[in-house]
Amino acid sequence: MSTHVDIDPAILYFGTPVVVLSTLNEDGTTNLMPMSSVFWLGRTAVLGVGASSQTALNLRDRPEIVLNLPGVDLVTEVDRIALTTGNAAMSAAKAARGYVHVSDKYAHAGLTAYGSDTVLPTSVAECPVHIEGTVRALHELGEPKLAAVEVAVTAVRVAPELRLEGHPNRIDPDRWRPLVMSFQQFYGLGERVHPSRLASIDEELYR
């Protein structure tokens, strides 16, 4: 006898980290977009964005980006820009969902711009992790109005307290507390539940 039931969810966000994307507008200002469709493969980040979003438009013309990773303490600031768009020509679908056009996302969220090292878009100073990169490819997906963006990481900058003691290039997972989105709700990580056999592999072997 089956112990599961068939469902047809509209979204499949079972839980991924929140990322605030910084991209460069045509006038040289930086647009911010919070999202949670992201994963990493080695030194490559793969992002899922709306194909008509200001972020996608920026990346097509100016293929540089910063992935700002907020901790749980920044949930209020992130939520302030959750229903905003930098695209003045807002789609009817976004308008129906309650989005509003905001040109200065930093001021709207109460966040601070911080200079980046290898790209032109500014980083979010309050975020403890900044991952800079350039777009390697932008793929239109089978689903309408969606795109997958392949980003080659060019630099990583973190708050000093996140570094693993004795390892200048590693993150201490017990100190890093990312903001997580699961089915449109914000969550944080709990304590470590079990030692991992993968942790026996030196991270340097992945280079």
pTM recorded for the entire structure: 0.92
Q: Do residues 111 and 66 make contact, with C-beta atoms less than 8 angstroms apart? A: no
Q: Choose from 5-14, 24-33, 138-147 the range with maximum mean pLDDT.
A: 24-33
Among candidate residues 127, 123, 128, the one with its CA nearest the CA of residue 113: 123
Residue 100's Cβ-count burial label (10 Å; 0-12, 13-18, 19+) is: exposed
pLDDT at 11: 85
Express each pLDDT in 85-113 by its tens digit: 988 888 888 888 888 999 999 999 999 99
